[in-house]
Amino acid sequence: MPDAPTPTHDQLYAMYRSMVTMRRFDAVVTELAEADRIPGYAHTYTGSEAIAAGVCAALRPSDWIASTYRNHGHAIGKGVALRAMAAELHGRRTGTAKGKGGSMHISDFGVGMLGAFGIVAAGMPIALGAALSMKMQGRDEVAVAFFGDGAVHQGVFHEAMGLAKLWNAPVLFVCENNQYAEATALDYHLHTETVANMAAGYALPGVRADGMDVVAVYQATLEAVARARAGGGATLLEFVSYRFSGQYEGDKQTYQPADERAAWWAREPLTAFEQAAAERGLDAARLERIRADADAEVAAAFAAAEQDPWPEPDELYDDVYVSYEGGLR
């Protein structure tokens, strides 16, 4: 992508910080899940950090994202507080959903995180709605829906793409093609050569880029964001990565051949970034400090969250149902 702007050193350091924070956060989640110290299912994001970090670096705080059950990276990228996320995972009342949602339901409207949705592809129409709202209000914010390769078989994927075109909505559909949908490999479930070329069926631009390279992700996203802000409508972005994490914490991943994992791991996004650092004029000692700071920040967030209070039993139904004045009509 020759025309895309090269990120500044500060932007590169920030993207690296974002990626290492995601990696560390989910490493702690894995430890906690293995020790049975957090309730409910958790889904980690190891290997796809460049996607969340690169996409979110191309957004403003006032833009919107909608996520999936595999949401920790997206939330961190968009700026949700680590402490509130950690508290949510621990079920504490200081969590983003006051401890009632857990790992699969992180949200924070204050930073543009519309929510994480456990139903595959469910975030797509939600981001589309946010995008339509921005357009109707005459604003230039955009909305992003993150989803996996498995989501392209959901009816709602096709409905959202069709309506996005019809309404010329400022939305980015970001497919994280991590080669697997649960235990099903991509070559078993995908009927087209790429996900990106499905955009043609809806007369939308479809762009495919390396999801292991945070700069490639950033540049592809920036171009789609600029088009959307300028009234040019939606884009389907496909970022190619690998799901090193299990489908859920505890998954034995027997369906992923060891040689396949090893070949992808050789290109994993943090190492790839570190290897390219000198060529980009970045300072190795500063990267090391960033890693140490991120580790300390994540550790402090979880340590503090675990001391936070539980919700009280009489709060059980608070914030669960909407009360309409005069009842539903």
Ligand X SMILES: Cc1ncc(C[n+]2csc(CCOP(=O)(O)OP(=O)(O)O)c2C)c(N)n1
Partner in contact with 246, chosen from ligand X, Mg ion, none, beta carbon below 5 to 8 Å by kind: none
User: Least Å distance between CB 206 and Mg ion?
Assistant: 18
* 148: β partners: 176
The answer to whether the beta carbons of residues 16 and 273 sit under 8 Å apart is yes
Residue placing its CB nearer to ligand X in the complex, 87 or 145: 145
User: Least Å distance between CB 153 and Mg ion?
Assistant: 11
Kindly give the interhelix angle for 9-34 and 82-89, rounded to the nearest 10 degrees: 20
Give me the residues that bind ligand X (CB under 6 A), please: 70, 118-120, 147-151, 176, 178, 180-182, 243, 247
User: Least Å distance between CB 178 and Mg ion?
Assistant: 4
State residue 215 phi and psi, 5-degree precision. -70, -40
| Residue 277, token pair as written in the block | 């650092």
Measured between alpha carbons, how far is 249 from 232 in angstroms, rounded to an integer?
Answer: 40
Residue placing its CB nearer to Mg ion in the complex, 26 or 149: 149
Nearest to Mg ion by Cβ — which residue? 148
Partner in contact with 183, chosen from ligand X, Mg ion, none, beta carbon below 5 to 8 Å by kind: none
User: Least Å distance between CB 61 and ligand X?
Assistant: 25
User: Least Å distance between CB 177 and ligand X?
Assistant: 8
Give me the residues that bind Mg ion (CB under 5 A), please: 148-149, 178, 180-181
Residue placing its CB nearer to Mg ion in the complex, 24 or 243: 243
Measured between alpha carbons, how far is 25 from 107 in angstroms, rounded to an integer?
Answer: 16
Partner in contact with 70, chosen from ligand X, Mg ion, none, beta carbon below 5 to 8 Å by kind: ligand X
Measured between alpha carbons, how far is 131 from 142 in angstroms, rounded to an integer?
Answer: 6
Residue placing its CB nearer to ligand X in the complex, 150 or 233: 150
Handedness of CA 191, 196, 199, 201 (dihedral sign): negative
User: Least Å distance between CB 240 and ligand X?
Assistant: 12
The answer to whether the beta carbons of residues 86 and 302 sit under 8 Å apart is yes
| Closest to 256 measured CA to CA, from 192, 148, 181, 177 | 181
| Closest to 27 measured CA to CA, from 285, 294, 210 | 294
Place of tokens 């389907």: 236
Residue placing its CB nearer to ligand X in the complex, 122 or 294: 122
Residue placing its CB nearer to Mg ion in the complex, 103 or 247: 247
